[in-house]
Amino acid sequence: MAKAHNSISTEKLQEIARDSRVWILKAITEANSGHPGGSLSLVEIITSFYFKWLKHDPKNPNWRERDRFVLSKGHGVPALYTAMALTGYFPVGELMNLRRLGSPLQGHPDRVRLPGIEASTGSLGQGLSVAQGMALGLRLDNIDSMVYCVMGDGEIQEGQVWEAALSIPMHKLDHLCAIIDWNKGQIDGQVKDVMNIEPIADKWRAFGWNVIEADGHSFDALDWAILAAKENAANKTGKPTMIVADTLKGKGVKFMEEGKNAWHGSAPSREQLEKAIHEIMTGERK
Amino acid sequence: MTTVKPIATRQAFGEALAKLGETHKEVVVLDADLSKSTKSDLFAKKFPERFFEMGISEANMIGAAAGLALTGKIPFLCSFGAFISGRFDQIRMSVSYTKAKVRIVGTHAGVGIGDDGHSQMALEDISCLRTLPEMTVLQPADDLETHAFIEELAHHPHPAYIRLTRQNVPRVHTSANKLKIGKIQSLKPGTQLLVLATGGLVGNSLEAAHELEKQGVSIEVANVSTIKPLDAEFLREALKRHKKIITVEDHYVIGGMGGAVAEFMAEAGHGKLHRIGVGEEFGQSGTPEAVMEAYGFTTPQLAKRFLSFHKA
């Protein structure tokens, strides 16, 4: 039976994060299509869950007592596929079939095609509602698992998110923990210019959530935030948790970080991939 | 038709659901502040721990129902059909594509609701939902059929939409025994014309056909309570018996049951079709009786329309 790998060191997690960034970019380059910016901003968040905090069993993806992890910002799925491959859901080589016809690795998550994906997402704003239903169902069955849901910051412009934001505290779902990948970018520009959603933390606090702000690229900060969410659940506070994770779009690759939204939804060339891998592996930022 | 007192299919649904809750612990129910109207309150009173009040937030309710289905529950989500089909993307993604076995219950079908007017009338719900792969689309004709369908939905392998009336409708079946999802049933034999009716207008269509029988016109009436998947076997056989078919529904003719039959007949390559329903116009307020008359759905009006197509 799988359990949370609580013992893994921060150094090891950082090493996994480095490898993950390389796999993500390789897969997107191979597909010549995908969303590198919002995948790279997710890496530490997803690595922290899949390698440390998530109660899951890659060999038994339908294990009833598992924690649920819903990626509502479906376009960030290369980061999720990479974590799933590296934890043994499927062979790592499968990552090179991203977006290929017939592949279980669809452009956005598809739970029917790929065991281990909890919800089919990609039309933004819907994952948190599905996560709510899972939390309601698990509570009815007296299953003590957590339900996690990762959203994009631009995604919370969707009205449905705020329906869920009202409803989840009302139903006292303290085992639900949402995370916002606050990477500040969206397709048409910076979130603050397209449709400002700040102050994010204050909004969720006003809706009755237990809000935690954390550096979304620091494993130590994420440890602290996720532990606080689990404690909040254990204490049966009746409040759901929202982790606002401060991140950088394109994190780890200088030209993507600086190019900002140009890298929301376009694949790097082979040359750009080489440059990016060199930077990720050596830490030399040119 | 029998002499049993007419009853709204939403009322039959509420009673059937409360009964289903007794034998199926996995059944859960969600409503968006309309439980007194959809009649899901009958379940809520009996099983409060399995009833979720979701407030006036249909989009979130649809997602939450999907999440419940993914943990092994059998969720029935209830609202007016107009409000549910309006959240099409949530149904498309979180229910259909996810293959979450949600039972979507849309009441207040068509102009038959009267007074409240267009905003509350589901008129495009069948068209929308039947485009989704593997979505079952149902519209029972009376209380017996509603009970049979709700019971069958506990085990149905696909997501499903069931469309119900606000207004009372006469009982058209004599027994619940053979009422199964997927079957068109012939309710009255006839040789000169086939009327395919669905939902709240099955009773009126049947009555109209009986009236015309007295005038020497022989009309077969069949009940299309499963609009998707359409009973192809019945229709293939029916096209051997009849050259002329009329569809009758309290829904837009574009894309509704009549649309589905039109698609079938076009591919079959023969038969002449006339679709009765709501055309290129909106619903409106009025007493249910006045509104039904305004759209040509009363029994005498249907009889006249059947006759004129028969003679055409």
Query: What pLDDT digit, counting tens, does each position of A13-46 carry?
Result: 999 999 999 999 999 999 999 999 999 999 999 9
The closest CB to that of B64, out of A110, A132, A138, belongs to A132
Q: How far is CA A23 from the centre of its chain?
A: 16
Q: How far is CA A211 from the centre of its chain?
A: 17
Identify the residue among A112, A118, A160 best suited for mutation to test binding to B, counting B beta carbons within 10 A and taking the highest.
A160
Same domain, B25 and B94: yes
CATH at B94 = 3.40.50.970
Domain finish residue from B140, B169, B198: B169
Same domain, B46 and B130: yes
Domain finish residue from B169, B197, B221: B169
pLDDT of amino acid A5: 53
Query: What pLDDT digit, counting tens, does each position of A185-214 carry?
Result: 999 999 999 999 999 999 999 999 999 999
Q: How many helices (H) and strands (E) does chain A have?
A: 11, 7
Ranges of chain B whose pLDDT falls below 70? 1-2
Which of B262, B232, B242 is closest to B306 using CA atoms?
B242
Indicate the helix (H) or strand (E) that contains B288.
helix B288-294
Query: What pLDDT digit, counting tens, does each position of B251-273 carry?
Result: 999 999 999 999 999 999 999 99
Is B23 part of a structural domain of the chain? yes
Domain A11-282 has CATH 3.40.50.970: yes
Is B193 part of a structural domain of the chain? yes
DSSP, residue by residue, B58-74: HHHHHHHHHHHHHTT-E
pLDDT of amino acid B178: 86
The residue whose two tokens read 């949402």 is A178
Is B132 part of a structural domain of the chain? yes
* CA–CA dist A254, A116 (Å, integer): 32
- Nearest residue of chain A to residue B92 (CA atoms): A123
The β-bridge relationship of strands B103-107 and B160-163 is parallel
Domain finish residue from B118, B144, B169: B169
CATH at B282 = 3.40.50.920
pLDDT of amino acid A275: 96
Instruction: Indicate if the pLDDT at residue A3 is higher than 60.
Output: no
Same domain, B258 and B162: no
First to last CA, chain A: 45
- State residue B150 phi and psi, 5-degree precision: -60, -40
Give chain B positions within 8 Å (CB) of A159: 59
Is B178 part of a structural domain of the chain? no
pLDDT of amino acid B3: 75
Give chain A positions within 8 Å (CB) of B89: 123, 126
Torsion sign over Cα A223, A229, A232, A233: negative
Token duo for residue A285:
């930022």
Same domain, B154 and B248: no
A173 inside 8 A of chain B by CB: no
A112 inside 8 A of chain B by CB: yes
Catalytic residue positions of B, numbered: 58
Instruction: Indicate if the pLDDT at residue A286 is higher than 90.
Output: no
- Nearest residue of chain B to residue A132 (CA atoms): B64
DSSP, residue by residue, A166-182: HHHHHTT-TTEEEEEEE
- State residue B104 phi and psi, 5-degree precision: -95, 120
A176 inside 8 A of chain B by CB: no
**Angstroms from A170 CA to nearest CA on chain B:** 9
Same domain, B109 and B216: no
Instruction: Indicate if the pLDDT at residue A6 is higher than 90.
Output: no
What is the ipTM score, two decimals?
0.94
Is B55 part of a structural domain of the chain? yes
Instruction: Indicate if the pLDDT at residue A260 is higher than 80.
Output: no
pTM comes to: 0.96
Indicate the helix (H) or strand (E) that contains B105.
strand B103-107
Same domain, B27 and B109: yes
pLDDT of amino acid B240: 96
Interface list for chain B against chain A, based on CB atoms closer than 8 Å: 28, 49-50, 52, 54-55, 57, 59-73, 75, 89-90, 92-94, 97-99
Fill in the amino acid letter for B132: L
Give the three-state DSSP class for B248: strand
Which of B13, B299, B251 is closest to B145 using CA atoms?
B13
Is B175 part of a structural domain of the chain? no
DSSP, residue by residue, A136-192: HHHHHTT----EEEEEETGGGGSHHHHHHHHHHHHTT-TTEEEEEEE--EETTEEHH
**Across A233-244, average pLDDT:** 98
A-B CB pairs within 8 A amount to 109
Give the range of the structural domain holding residue B272, as residue numbers without chain letter: 185-311
Give chain B positions within 8 Å (CB) of A131: 67
Instruction: Indicate if the pLDDT at residue A232 is higher than 80.
Output: yes
DSSP, residue by residue, B177-191: TT--TT--EEEE--S
* CA–CA dist A27, A81 (Å, integer): 10
pLDDT of amino acid B2: 60
* CA–CA dist A179, B286 (Å, integer): 49
Q: Where are the alpha helices (DSSP H) in B57-201?
A: 58-70, 81-85, 88-90, 125-129, 143-153
Same domain, B306 and B269: yes
First to last CA, chain B: 29
Is B174 part of a structural domain of the chain? no
Q: Residue A2: which pLDDT band, with cuts at 50, 70 and 90?
A: very low
Q: How many domains does chain B fold into? A: 2
Give chain B positions within 8 Å (CB) of A133: 63-71, 75
Same domain, B75 and B214: no
pLDDT of amino acid A1: 39
Same domain, B165 and B199: no
Same domain, B225 and B295: yes
Same domain, B165 and B238: no
Same domain, B202 and B151: no
Which residues have CB under 8 Å from A20's CB, separation 6+?
A43, A46, A47, A79, A82, A83, A86
Token duo for residue A271:
């040359």
Determine, for residues B73 and A140 on separate chains, whether the beta-carbon distance falls below 8 Å: yes
* CA–CA dist A118, A121 (Å, integer): 9
Work out the mean pLDDT of chain A and round it to a whole number: 96
Determine, for residues A167 and B63 on separate chains, whether the beta-carbon distance falls below 8 Å: no
pLDDT of amino acid A259: 85
DSSP, residue by residue, B205-243: HHHHHHHHHHTT--EEEEE--EEES--HHHHHHHHHH-S
Which of A46, A50, A57 is closest to A24 using CA atoms?
A46
Q: What are the boundaries of each domain within chain A?
A: 11-282
